[in-house]
Chain A
Amino acid sequence: MRTTQLFGNAYSFGNLKELFAKANEEKSGDQLAGIAAADAKERMAAKLVLADVTLAEIRNEPLLPADIDEVSRIIEEGVDEPAFSSIASWTVGELREYILHQGTTGRHIERISFGLTSEIIAAVTKLMSNLDLVQAAAKIEVLTTCNTTIGQRGVLASRAQPNHPSDQVPGMLASLYEALSYGIGDAVLGINPVIDSPENVKRLLEATKEVMAKWEIPTQNCVLAHIQTQMQAIRQGAPADMVFQSLAGTEAGNRAFGIDLSLLDEADELIRAQGSSTGANRWYFETGQGSELSSESHAGIDQLTLESRCYGLARKYKPFIVNTVVGFIGPEYLYDSKQVIRAGLEDHFMGKMHLLPMGCDVCYTNHMQTDQNDMDNLGLLLGAAGVNFLIGVPMADDCMLNYQSTSFHDIATLRDVLRRSPAPEFAEWLGKMGIMNQNGLTPSAGDPTLFT
């Protein structure tokens, strides 16, 4: 039991789980789960108490014990003991100040990162303002290599997402050509299929590989089917540079996605042996606050902490790219623009604190209290925070998944406004193709018939 006095009221928190939930900024998902702070004062009381909790206390009071949850086990096994013991006596408030201290560089954060559990990273996130989250994340540079390398300071990479409502290859290629003509596609050419079959996955992987070969594009491909479908396709000889999977922050949540650790391990072995890429990083993970609650596998834990635990799991597989699909889940988890923007910054920071190559699908559905202007804002904030990549969709309107994300135009604009470039090898290719130069897009950029 932890207690405090505030505004003449006494507040008490029965356990860490309750304290963690109540210390969150307001989220409709925590309210739906019935674990959020009752009002603004109780929220502040929780933050005050949390600021004085030590990192050792958090490690010693697991929210979900490692003997009953394999995600907890992976997080616990990943802790570097010397790194942890050097900071175990710090409070969460002190950890925040260390991260923000001017003398603390990305290298320093990297060193302590191996000693932090996902719950500790979640805890410090709860005490940080939006601008704290931007500044701290911007310190951390995470480079990864699949066929090409992304993540360098000053680089803003992008996923081309050329989805088609019936997986037709010519239609997919049309959107892909449009993407490439705006300089989009350096992180991955990644398609969400409608039909989850090995044959279809193979067909789409082959189609993107052909474009990469024909135009000598330095990037990587991926088809975001269920992991087992991708594995079957790879065993049938499909050229996959990486494998994709959505992750949840609990073992039960992952079971709802149809996966567990042994399946991830098996896929990891397969892509390392039979993947068509050359680099060390061969995974693409997607996450997003609220997925555990939606599959009733949240164990009473708040959605921010569960999201951090996804990153704890992702870290084990050294992914090439990870992104939170922040606004896809709907208003019962993130109600409005304020909550989506906050969650996007939290997720990006927490991912970077796990030393993950974090991107973000800056997105929303039409029943949320938010619109494209809010996505402009979040894109700019994440760009300033050093996000590794964003998602490029034709005019931000995904005609297959029926939601809105960021457009090719948006990414080109963020690169222009924030002085960011595409990944180096891709930038060189764009120069050769006459699509971009030092001044940004050339007059012929934006014309998909460059590739016909």
Chain B
Amino acid sequence: MEDIPRLPTAWRPRSTEGLERLQSSTPARIGVWRAGTRPTTGQMLKFRCDHASAVDAVYSEVSEELLLELGLFTVETQYGNKEIYLKRPDRGRKLTDEAIDTITKKCKLNPQVQIVVSDGLSGSAIEANLTDCYLSLLDSLAVHGLEAGTPFFVKGGRVACMDQIGELLQAEVLVLFIGERPGLVSSSSMSAYMCYRPRFGTVESDRMVISNIHPQGTFPAEAGAYIGDLLHTILQHKASGVKLDSMRK
């Protein structure tokens, strides 16, 4: 009689309770077991699913509905297309001539607080988190008696596009909501960069950031309120980033 192929018996750790304790102490993928030296089918596919979601986030677009709902008009940087955007960060820092024209026509000059939104490296991060964060920021600004200028959406933006916008509108303080590089834990994580009087030549250390804004990280609504407080502090001290830190010490 021929041998009948047999599946290996299911894995039992030496201590089930011990394994649970280890697993609950870290988000790392441990206690995953193996097929020979390779990961099990379930673990391998789970990893691939998370990566698929991250890759799709890079290529995702922010929907017209969301922008309409929040009353944001759209302008573009010189990013061209997704491939150029990824290869040439410098292009994502420069607005098109058309964008400059539109912003100049539509926006209030010398705003106290200028709000800008960009897809960055994850359109789905904006889609998932912007509404809650944005609305609570508006509430927070009202509480602090701060006045926001005309908000808009920048397609294909990089963080430093805030300098050109700050220059154009002579903004007192600017906050940019932008999609972060997707990770496997969250493909939809948003950051908020803030800067006092961003202008051409602004140094990176003058920017400050609240990152990891998503339901499993910093809650979007909480982040919005906190950002409002921070903008208030920035305006009080007329400084942001490292400069602000040293003044507050």
Q: Contact residues of A with B, CB < 8 Å? A: 28, 31-32, 162-165, 168, 170-175, 177-178, 330-332, 335, 365-367, 371-372, 394-397, 399, 402-404, 407, 409, 412-413, 416, 440-441, 444, 446-450, 452
Contact = CB atoms under 8 A, between A and B. Distances in A.
A372 B48 contact: yes
Contacts of B43: 395
Given A402-B181, A452-B21, A395 B14 contact: no
A447 B13 contact: yes
B39 A407 contact: yes
Contacts of A332: 86-89
Contacts of A164: 26, 28
A413 B37 contact: yes
Contacts of A31: 87
Given A164-B26, A447-B13, A404 B51 contact: yes
Interface of B: 11, 13-15, 18-19, 21-23, 25-34, 36-39, 43, 47-48, 50-51, 54-55, 57-58, 86-90, 121, 181-185, 187
A395 B29 contact: yes
Contact of A366 (B14, B27, B54): B54
B217 to A, nearest CB: 10
A165 B211 CA distance: 14
Contact of B58 (A170, A171, A367, A395): A367
Contact of B39 (A32, A172, A409): A409
A332 B79 CA distance: 13
Contact of A394 (B30, B33, B38): B30
Given A366-B54, A366-B183, A446-B33, A399 B26 contact: yes
Nearest to A294: B89
A448 B22 contact: yes
8 contacts: A171-B25, A366-B55, A372-B48, A394-B28, A399-B27, A399-B185, A402-B183, A450-B14
What are the 9 tightest A-B residue pairs by CB atom distance, in nearest-first order? Answer: A171-B26, A395-B29, A402-B183, A174-B22, A366-B54, A449-B18, A452-B18, A412-B37, A178-B30
A449 B14 contact: yes
B37 A449 contact: no
Given A174-B26, A332-B87, A332-B89, 6 more contacts: A170-B25, A175-B26, A366-B183, A372-B48, A407-B39, A449-B15
Instruction: Name the residue among B55, B88, B89, B184 with the largest chain A CB count within 10 angstroms.
Output: B184
Given A32-B88, A365-B181, A396 B22 contact: no
B86 A177 contact: no
Contacts of B34: 409, 441, 446
A173 B183 CA distance: 23
Contacts of A178: 22, 28, 30-31
Contacts of A444: 14
A399 B34 CA distance: 20
A440 B36 CA distance: 10
B121 to A, nearest CB: 6
B22 to A, nearest CB: 4
A32 B36 CA distance: 44
A165 B185 CA distance: 11
Nearest to B19: A449
A367 B22 contact: no
A366 B38 contact: no
Contact of B23 (A174, A330, A403): A174
Contacts of A413: 36-38
Contacts of B58: 366-367
B86 A171 contact: no
A290 to B, nearest CB: 12
A219 to B, nearest CB: 19
A444 B31 CA distance: 13
B9 to A, nearest CB: 10
Nearest to A416: B37
A449 B32 CA distance: 12
Contact of A28 (B11, B87, B121): B87
